[in-house]
Amino acid sequence: MTDEFTTEIYYDEDADVSHIDDKTVAVLGYGSQGHAHALNLHDSGVDVVVGLRESSASRAAAEDEGLEVATPVEAAARADIVKMLVPDTVQPAVFEEIRDELDAGDTLQFAHGFNIHYGQIEPPEDVDVTMVAPKSPGHLVRRNYEKGEGTPGLLAICQDATGDAKEEGLAYAKAIGCTRAGTIQTTFREETETDLFGEQAVLCGGVTDLVKAGFETLVDAGYSPEMAYFECLNELKLIVDLMYEGGHMEMWNSVSDTAEYGGLTRGEDVINREGMEQILEEVQEGTFAREWIAENQAHRPSYKQLREAEENHQIEEVGARLRELFDWQAEEDAEEAEQEEVRADD
């Protein structure tokens, strides 16, 4: 085992914001990520214009923060760097609108590689195509920047028409605070495929189904829904926080020996590695991408049905009732309200 990382990680001393000092950045979208990027760039002295449609409800919020707002086409026409921070499903249509505003030597930049990797967007050959992606929700990217702290991020270069794509990308990463914490060099393919796999198999799909399955197993066996909720959902945050702070061993060292032995000997029984490998294969082959694109083209019938079932699950009703009874609810409500202000991407 080696202590050396093969992946390059860049910090503030590796980046120079002067590479974008004389450039204008068009931030398309003002949702969770858009507002954080635009405000952090602005506070770092970068010339920023926010691109939003005329009917966008976010226009007033951006203007209230002292930011210049224009339509996406107008913003892209002025910009040297166009940052795509509208939802993945909207990006191809927005790109078609602004394509003619991309001049030779400009940069088309993303925070997720989906549309480039799966060929939904095909940029001109004479522009740089890069990715600078904070690995955190936007409200934390902004909060960490304001506190003088940073948010880990990713840098990827898909197309380097100018020869300066890396230096410019690092400058952007520094301007939004990512190099304070560390910015990892990756590729569009690696970011896209690991991101989709992680969301589906672990972070979103795997965790929620594990929690629901545990909850249902206890309730079906006659235990109270309240106890099932606390054991299978509420305490999950405590465990994840420990793992986040110091890895698996920090968690194992913090729980009882009984919990550790039970986890080490039984945890593997609930994990389906073949299922995970199948999920990864579908991501790599583009099966999931084609399915999700078709789902959106059909106006999301399956998505809506699945989401409704999730909203009506017993664990949601029990959780809502229990959260009203405890002191920590007020604090969580305040944070959730803050997140809601910036959650809807434009």
Sign of the alpha-carbon dihedral angle for 12, 16, 19, 20: positive
CA distance 167 to 184: 14
CA distance 59 to 228: 44
CA distance 76 to 65: 20
Residue corresponding to tokens 């294969």: 281
Length of the chain: 346
Smallest CA-to-CA distance from 127 within 160, 97, 158 is with 160
CA distance 160 to 339: 35
Distances (CA, A) of 160 to 27, 140, 323: 20, 30, 50
CA distance 182 to 161: 25
Q: List, in sequence order, every residue forming a beta bridge with 130; answer none if it has no partner.
A: 109, 157
**Cα atoms found within 13 Å of the Cα of residue 346, Cβ hemisphere only:** 25
CA distance 121 to 112: 12
Kindly compute the dihedral angle of the four CA atoms of residues 191, 165, 159, 128, in this order, to the nearest 10 degrees.
110
**Cα atoms found within 13 Å of the Cα of residue 261, Cβ hemisphere only:** 3
User: What is the distance of C-alpha 132 from the center of its chain?
Assistant: 11
Tokens standing for residue 81? 């760097």
Instruction: Kindly state the helix (H) or strand (E) to which residue 68 belongs, with its residue range.
Output: strand 68-70
Considering just the CA atoms, what is the radius of gyration of the chain in Å?
22
Smallest CA-to-CA distance from 116 within 287, 295, 286 is with 286
The residues annotated with a catalytic role in the active site are 112
